[in-house]
Amino acid sequence: MGDSPMCLDGASVCACESRASRPCHATYMGESPMPLDPPNRGFRVQMPRGLLRGFFTCLLFVSCHYKKKNLTPLADLPIATFSANLIATFSIAMFSAITFNAFAIFITSLISDFSMTHHFNPFFFESPAARQAFTDREELAARLVAFMRQRGRRMLVHGLRRMGKTSLILNAGRISKENLVFVDVSTATNLNEVARNLLLAAPREEESLLLKLFRLAQKHFSSVTLGAGGIQLTGELRPDEGPKNLQSVLTYLNDRAGAEDKPLTICLDEFQDLRLLGGERIDWQIRGIIQHFENVNFIFAGSDYRLVKWMTEPNAAFFNQLQMMEVGPIDTSLLVKWMAGRAKIGGLAAFPFGQDIVEMAGPRTGDIIRLAMSCFELAAAGETPAGQVAAKAFDLVTFSEKTYEFSSRWHDCSLVQRAVLRAIALGFAPTAAETVRKFELGTTSTAHSALKTLLKRQILTRDIEGEIKFDSPFFSHWCATQGARP
């Protein structure tokens, strides 16, 4: 990923409306063929003129060549030889002119075709930011790097969804060059899977310590193998032994870091999902397991609005035991500059949409990058006036790319919930008497309970000042316009 020219799946990348002409290469692979019009037109116009020029140039060269070799002493030659020479000179000149001219025009056409139509969208919202696509976060990354170089530390990394927590942690791990065992808990369906994933995510053991670590692993697990991929758990893990297996893996990793005498950081991303897998008391169990570990650091990360409360309230398992790191918005001016720089790498010399993008997409990096990607598509297609690009891209994401998702989310909501969403999207305080009356919400308490459900489902979120907002700026736009493109 990153700067290298790569092709994205057209379907998932952009439902770009104006796909008809001069499309961006990234969008068009596998769809309609590349437009051949500009090079073809150039070829037709340039051919006769170039040919004439080429012919006379070649004629000059061929004549000079003959002259140099004294092959055209016109006066000495009999007339037959003279005309044969003349015809040969003209033919060679003509042939060379056609060949060279056609070849030159073909190459020029190719180059101009390439520069006119091949843009590579440099914005990726689908996965955590890779090295080249990662910006800012210098302060937080430096703090994490320092953290990863210590031992026995614990940290909670939190922030709104799509703000960039995972990208930050992974990039800090890369910068630190320390051992990072990163597992996304939300991808597992049980604790055994988390345990297995932890072991799989661990960096390869040092060759010289392999046997020693294998013996160590045997102490913790009933069946392990030493294969090409290092030390791995084998055999079926019993479902009821999930907590025990998780404990074994964590203990092994702590012992291993000690044996290697190297810091090792274990990151459990989407930590709140551990409660789904291990029940309400899982954080207490984890605390019990790791409280005496001295060799490994732990990062717990997540975006669920309840996570910070779970982890830090006075009766929480990790109360007063965690360093806290909040991942907030990236500075707007920095993002604007960075987007313009990225767009240039992708082949667009000017990208004056940054400010509008940030204003429309809101504070979350993921939303900004997503809108930037659509803006890039539109700008590369070259059919939308610059002043309309950001607004059109916003509509495009809302009403084309995400319309099925939003429509099914909308239909999953009760009528009161829908009315509450509409009210908030249009800027009304959801439980105010006027709103309840205007949007026919029934009573204030029905509005309250609808709000509670929507917060729980994370369709709405509470910001730091307690104000209720849409999780997605695109869904807010969709609700405000009743799912119809304005």
Ligand X SMILES: Nc1ncnc2c1ncn2[C@@H]1O[C@H](COP(=O)(O)OP(=O)(O)OP(=O)(O)O)[C@@H](O)[C@H]1O
CB 199 within 8 A of CB 232: yes
Instruction: Decide if residue 171 touches Mg ion (CB under 5 A).
Output: no
Residue 167 interacts with which of Mg ion, ligand X, none, CB < 5 to 8 Å by class: ligand X
Residue 135 interacts with which of Mg ion, ligand X, none, CB < 5 to 8 Å by class: ligand X
Instruction: Decide if residue 162 touches ligand X (CB under 6 A).
Output: yes
Instruction: Decide if residue 14 touches ligand X (CB under 6 A).
Output: no
- Start-end of H helices in 163-281: 165-176, 191-201, 210-220, 242-260, 274-278
Q: Which stretch binds ligand X (CB under 6 A): 38-46, 164-172, 245-253, 435-443?
A: 164-172
Nearer to Mg ion, 184 or 377 (CB): 184
CB 164 within 8 A of CB 338: no
Q: Which stretch binds Mg ion (CB under 5 A): 36-44, 92-100, 158-166, 229-237?
A: 158-166
Q: Which stretch binds ligand X (CB under 6 A): 113-121, 126-134, 232-240, 447-455?
A: 126-134
Q: Which stretch binds Mg ion (CB under 5 A): 161-169, 283-291, 324-332, 392-400?
A: 161-169
Of 117, 295, 303, 472, the residue at the interface with ligand X (CB under 6 A) is 303
Instruction: Decide if residue 372 touches ligand X (CB under 6 A).
Output: no
What are the φ and ψ backbone dihedral angles of 198, each rounded to 5 degrees? -60, -45
What are the φ and ψ backbone dihedral angles of 296, each rounded to 5 degrees? -105, 150
Q: Measuring CA to CA, how many Å separate 250 from each of 108, 178, 184, 280, 328?
A: 61, 18, 15, 20, 30
Distance CA(390)–CA(24), nearest Å, equals 17
Instruction: Decide if residue 374 touches Mg ion (CB under 5 A).
Output: no
Instruction: Decide if residue 366 touches ligand X (CB under 6 A).
Output: yes
Closest CA to 312 of 287, 344, 347: 287
Instruction: Decide if residue 365 touches ligand X (CB under 6 A).
Output: yes
Distance CA(134)–CA(168), nearest Å, equals 8
Residue nearest to ligand X (CB): 164
Residue 134 interacts with which of Mg ion, ligand X, none, CB < 5 to 8 Å by class: ligand X
Q: Which residue has the tokens 């105010």?
A: 432
Residue 420 interacts with which of ligand X, Mg ion, none, CB < 5 to 8 Å by class: none
* Contacts for 146 with CB less than 8 Å, ≥ 6 apart: none
Q: Which stretch binds ligand X (CB under 6 A): 10-18, 129-137, 229-237, 384-392?
A: 129-137
Instruction: Decide if residue 109 touches Mg ion (CB under 5 A).
Output: no
Instruction: Decide if residue 54 touches ligand X (CB under 6 A).
Output: no
Distance CA(92)–CA(1), nearest Å, equals 51
Instruction: Decide if residue 101 touches ligand X (CB under 6 A).
Output: no
Of 72, 109, 117, 135, the residue at the interface with ligand X (CB under 6 A) is 135
Instruction: Decide if residue 167 touches ligand X (CB under 6 A).
Output: yes
Instruction: Decide if residue 166 touches ligand X (CB under 6 A).
Output: yes
* Contacts for 159 with CB less than 8 Å, ≥ 6 apart: 165, 303, 326, 327, 328
The token pair that represents 379 in the structure block: 């700008």
Nearer to Mg ion, 27 or 167 (CB): 167
Instruction: Decide if residue 166 touches Mg ion (CB under 5 A).
Output: yes
Binding site for ligand X (CB under 6 A): 124-125, 128-129, 133-137, 159, 161-167, 303, 365-366, 369
